[in-house]
């Protein structure tokens, strides 16, 4: 049967003299003589998307856009192009070599270098040599790092700007790989994303963040497990003694080593038993500072965790976490370049034997094992992008198998309002997504949404059709919360509307209702209605609401007028804007493409997005 054409006939007319109290007195509308059959399902408007990635049609046929070379702010309107670091680094290196060579002959310097030859002594009983497990750990670590770093770049390319405050205000970024934000007030974060070549980014192209995140978070899980095993073995075998500076003399010793390297008269390597002090410090930072920091700053970007642990996230905001996460990546890349260079230039065969063959000699054994491992690395590097395009659903499924348990765990975090106050509200709140273009929506908007009605139906005892007056008549819920877009930008706003708990009281979901689908007036990026499925558990949370106000004004067109969802344990794309209907279902496998949301169907996002 067709839906009722206008507002519910038994409800009061939409006149300005109508007071919310009247509406409240008459709610909920009786459902006695019209069962759920009077309500249409929006499911027929959803589209299926093939499980493929066609370049020309990707993400709504988004054209390639390459951004600009990375640059860092050095003044109000001044930016430093990081490509300059290449010639500057070269000049500094040459000067450094000249200075080191010049001062190395000075008697004081010579005395210093005799006192501090470059290596701290290890305690008695420290292990000698490299166990085989270390070789395996090292290989797995470097193998995983390739995918983690490449997919990390891809994620950065989706919002190619970094900030130090939770407000992602245009012009206030400290780093960018994109032109300044244009003045168009409806410019979206999606428009701001940039393309990465396929061999560099994983999977490459533009706005492939859904797939990039499965790689990043999925491989992160393996990398962390590998790291955990590494820590356990390190401490249970005493190998940690070789990786932790135990005496302050590592500082003068590392200065001595730096002088020896720079003056091109390199230290005698004794890596089999004992690293030189500079090496020790670099390894220590990588293993015990950078790696844990990568995890902590990664988790610092989680909406669920940030919203819950306000005492941390009030200082350590998502943008601080994101900026530090980026700097950790810079350390890793810097470390990898220097480390590989020195391994290959300071007795390559012996060094490769240490790590790859657990032996201390100059045979070719280690080299050949290393060469074989490099074949694996290169095949992995080259195959990752084409395989992702060919089997995107598999990438989505495997990624979810790996990181899904953690994502589901954090979804159970029900936070209370009150984390932010009015003064935290962001001066600029990015727009995102595809705006509604239908005649139906345009007519409603022209009529100031007087004819708008929200249909709530499906597996509920009491389906309803509510206009805005009736929604406004329900108990008002307000919250000031932070929005976390999957692309990386964030912003704080005050949302006014109705708590979803109130809606549940009104419609009384049936016990078999497990998922709640929100349908939009707008289409998604490649046609078909935008929608998203949310677990019913989260509809009871203190911060899940339908918002009709933003920052004390009726919701604007761009931000989702007349009604949008807020669910603060989730990333932004799950917060459907321009809502026209809500449907309670048992499961979402038969809805749309069956992945639990428009972006999941079309761009391989996931439905649990607490991280």
- 575 near ligand MTE, rule: CB under 6 A: yes
Binding to Mo ion by CB under 5 A, coded x per residue (else -) over 485-514, reads xx----------------------------
Element (H, E) at 96: helix 85-104
Instruction: Determine phi and psi for 490, rounding to 5 degrees.
Output: -145, 165
Rounded Cα distance, 600 and 607, in Å: 7
8 Å CB contact between 318 and 487: no
CB closest to Mo ion, residue no: 485
List the single partner that 208 binds among ligand MTE, Mo ion, none, CB under 5 to 8 Å by kind.
Answer: none
List the single partner that 139 binds among ligand MTE, Mo ion, none, CB under 5 to 8 Å by kind.
Answer: none
- 389 near ligand MTE, rule: CB under 6 A: no
- 577 near ligand MTE, rule: CB under 6 A: yes
Rounded Cα distance, 417 and 410, in Å: 17
List the single partner that 468 binds among Mo ion, ligand MTE, none, CB under 5 to 8 Å by kind.
Answer: none
| Complex with Mo ion: residue 399 or 572, whichever CB lies closer | 572
| Complex with ligand MTE: residue 216 or 431, whichever CB lies closer | 431
| DSSP secondary structure of 470-506 | HHHHSPPEEEEEEEE-TTS-EEEEEEEEEEHHHHHHH
Find the binder of Mo ion among 230, 484, 530, 573 (CB under 5 A): 573
- 576 near ligand MTE, rule: CB under 6 A: yes
Q: How many positions of this chain bind ligand MTE (CB under 6 A)?
A: 19
Find the binder of ligand MTE among 49, 71, 205, 431 (CB under 6 A): 431
Q: What angle do CA 302, 307, 311 make, to 5 degrees?
A: 110
List the single partner that 569 binds among Mo ion, ligand MTE, none, CB under 5 to 8 Å by kind.
Answer: none
- 213 near ligand MTE, rule: CB under 6 A: no
Helix H, strand E, coil C: the string for 306-359 is: HHHCHHHHCCCCHHHHHHHHHHHHHHHHHHHHHHHHHHHHCCHHHHHHHHHHCC
| Complex with ligand MTE: residue 294 or 522, whichever CB lies closer | 522
The footprint of ligand MTE on residues 539-568 (CB under 6 A) is 558-560
Find the binder of ligand MTE among 267, 300, 433, 597 (CB under 6 A): 433
Element (H, E) at 67: none
- 432 near Mo ion, rule: CB under 5 A: yes
Rounded Cα distance, 196 and 203, in Å: 9
Identify any residues that bridge with 515 across adjacent strands, giving them in sequence order.
535, 585
List the single partner that 410 binds among Mo ion, ligand MTE, none, CB under 5 to 8 Å by kind.
Answer: none
DSSP single-letter state for residue 176: E
| Complex with ligand MTE: residue 192 or 220, whichever CB lies closer | 192
| Complex with Mo ion: residue 13 or 185, whichever CB lies closer | 185
Stretch that binds ligand MTE, among 245-253, 361-369, 401-409, 423-431 (CB under 6 A): 423-431
The pairing of beta strand 579-585 with beta strand 453-458: parallel
Binding to Mo ion by CB under 5 A, coded x per residue (else -) over 457-486, reads ----------------------------xx
Rounded Cα distance, 180 and 454, in Å: 39
| Complex with Mo ion: residue 62 or 294, whichever CB lies closer | 62
Q: Cα 269 to the chain's mean position, in Å? A: 41
Query: Please, what is the minimum distance in Å from the beta carbon of residue 308 to ligand MTE?
Result: 20
Query: Please, what is the minimum distance in Å from the beta carbon of residue 517 to ligand MTE?
Result: 13
Rounded Cα distance, 595 and 432, in Å: 21
| Complex with Mo ion: residue 471 or 485, whichever CB lies closer | 485
518 class by beta-carbon count within 10 Å (0-12 exposed, 13-18 middle, 19+ buried): buried
Query: Please, what is the minimum distance in Å from the beta carbon of residue 431 to ligand MTE?
Result: 4
Query: Please, what is the minimum distance in Å from the beta carbon of residue 115 to Mo ion?
Result: 58
Find the binder of Mo ion among 572, 581, 593, 596 (CB under 5 A): 572
Single out the residue of 521, 598, 515 nearest to residue 46, CA to CA.
Answer: 598
- 116 near ligand MTE, rule: CB under 6 A: no
Write the CA distances from 102 to 106, 200, 254, 414, integer angstroms: 8, 41, 19, 64
DSSP single-letter state for residue 290: I
| DSSP secondary structure of 106-117 | SHHHHHHHHH--
- 58 near Mo ion, rule: CB under 5 A: no
Binding to ligand MTE by CB under 6 A, coded x per residue (else -) over 501-520, reads -------------------x
| Complex with Mo ion: residue 194 or 485, whichever CB lies closer | 485
- 441 near ligand MTE, rule: CB under 6 A: no
- 207 near ligand MTE, rule: CB under 6 A: no
Query: Please, what is the minimum distance in Å from the beta carbon of residue 155 to Mo ion?
Result: 12
- 565 near Mo ion, rule: CB under 5 A: no
Report CA Rg, the chain. 29
Query: Looking at the chain, how many residues does it have?
Result: 611
- 452 near ligand MTE, rule: CB under 6 A: no
8 Å CB contact between 550 and 493: yes
- 572 near ligand MTE, rule: CB under 6 A: yes
Single out the residue of 158, 153, 135, 139 nearest to residue 208, CA to CA.
Answer: 158
The pairing of beta strand 553-554 with beta strand 544-550: antiparallel
CA dihedral (253, 257, 259, 260) positive or negative: positive
Find the binder of ligand MTE among 578, 584, 588, 604 (CB under 6 A): 578
Find the binder of ligand MTE among 429, 452, 495, 515 (CB under 6 A): 429
Query: Please, what is the minimum distance in Å from the beta carbon of residue 522 to ligand MTE?
Result: 4
| Complex with ligand MTE: residue 198 or 432, whichever CB lies closer | 432
- 573 near ligand MTE, rule: CB under 6 A: yes
Write the CA distances from 481 to 67, 128, 302, 310, 433, integer angstroms: 31, 54, 14, 11, 20
Q: Locate tokens 């005395």: which residue?
A: 111
What residues make contact with Mo ion under the rule CB under 5 A?
432, 485-486, 572-573
What residues make contact with ligand MTE under the rule CB under 6 A?
429-434, 485, 520, 522, 530, 558-560, 572-573, 575-578
């Amino acid at each position: 049967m067709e839906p009722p054409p206008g507002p519910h006939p038994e409800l009061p007319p939409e006149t300005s003299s109508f007071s919310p109290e009247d509406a409240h007195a008459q709610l909920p509308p009786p459902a006695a003589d019209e069962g759920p059959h009077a309500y249409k399902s929006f499911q027929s408007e959803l589209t299926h998307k093939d499980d493929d990635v066609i370049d020309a049609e990707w993400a709504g046929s988004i054209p390639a856009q390459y951004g600009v070379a990375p640059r860092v702010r050095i003044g109000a309107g001044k930016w430093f192009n990081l490509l300059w670091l290449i010639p500057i680094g070269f000049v500094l290196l040459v000067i450094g070599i000249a200075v080191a060579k010049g001062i190395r002959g000075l008697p004081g310097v010579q005395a210093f270098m005799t006192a501090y030859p470059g290596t701290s002594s290890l305690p008695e009983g420290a292990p000698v040599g490299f166990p085989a497990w270390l070789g395996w750990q090292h290989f797995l670590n470097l193998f995983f790092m390739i995918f983690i770093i490449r997919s990390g770049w891809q994620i950065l390319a989706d919002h190619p700007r970094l900030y130090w405050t939770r407000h992602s205000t245009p012009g206030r970024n400290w780093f960018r790989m994109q032109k300044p934000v244009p003045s168009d007030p409806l410019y979206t974060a999606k428009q701001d994303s940039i393309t990465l070549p396929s061999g560099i980014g994983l999977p490459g192209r533009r706005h492939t963040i859904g797939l990039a995140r499965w790689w990043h978070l999925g491989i992160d899980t393996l990398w962390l497990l590998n790291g955990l095993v590494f820590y356990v073995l390190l401490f249970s075998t005493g190998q940690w003694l070789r990786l932790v500076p135990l005496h302050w003399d590592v500082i003068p010793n590392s200065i001595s080593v730096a002088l020896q390297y720079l003056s091109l008269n390199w230290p005698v390597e004794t890596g089999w038993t004992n690293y030189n002090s500079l090496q020790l410090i670099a390894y220590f930072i990588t293993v015990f500072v950078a790696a844990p920091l990568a995890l902590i700053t990664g988790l610092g970007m989680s909406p669920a965790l940030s919203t819950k642990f306000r005492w941390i996230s009030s200082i350590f905001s998502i943008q601080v976490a994101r900026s530090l996460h980026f700097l950790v990546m810079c350390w890793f890349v810097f470390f990898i370049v220097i480390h590989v260079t020195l391994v290959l230039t300071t007795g390559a065969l012996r060094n490769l034997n240490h790590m790859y063959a657990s032996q201390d000699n100059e045979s070719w054994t280690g080299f050949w094992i290393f060469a074989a491992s490099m074949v694996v690395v290169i095949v992995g590097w080259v195959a990752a992008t084409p395989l992702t395009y060919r089997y995107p659903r598999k990438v989505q499924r495997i990624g979810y198998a790996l990181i899904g348990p953690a994502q589901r765990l954090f979804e159970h975090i029900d936070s209370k309002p009150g984390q932010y106050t009015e003064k935290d509200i962001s001066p600029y709140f990015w727009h995102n997504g595809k705006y509604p273009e239908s005649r139906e929506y345009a007519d409603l908007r022209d009529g100031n949404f007087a004819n708008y009605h929200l249909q709530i139906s499906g597996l509920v005892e009491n389906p309803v059709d509510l206009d805005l007056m009736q929604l406004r008549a329900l108990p008002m819920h307000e919250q000031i919360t932070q929005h976390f877009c999957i692309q990386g930008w964030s912003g704080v706003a005050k949302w006014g509307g109705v708590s979803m708990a109130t809606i549940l009281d009104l419609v009384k979901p049936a016990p078999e209702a497990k998922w709640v689908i929100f349908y939009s007036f707008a289409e998604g990026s490649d046609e078909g209605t935008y929608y998203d499925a949310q677990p019913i558990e989260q509809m009871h949370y203190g911060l899940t609401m339908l918002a009709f106000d933003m920052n004390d004004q009726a919701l604007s067109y761009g931000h989702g007028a007349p009604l949008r969802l807020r669910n603060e344990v989730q990333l932004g794309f799950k917060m459907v804007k321009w809502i026209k209907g809500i449907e309670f279902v048992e499961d979402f496998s038969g809805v749309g493409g069956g992945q639990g949301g428009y972006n999941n169907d079309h761009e391989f996002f996931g439905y649990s997005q607490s991280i």
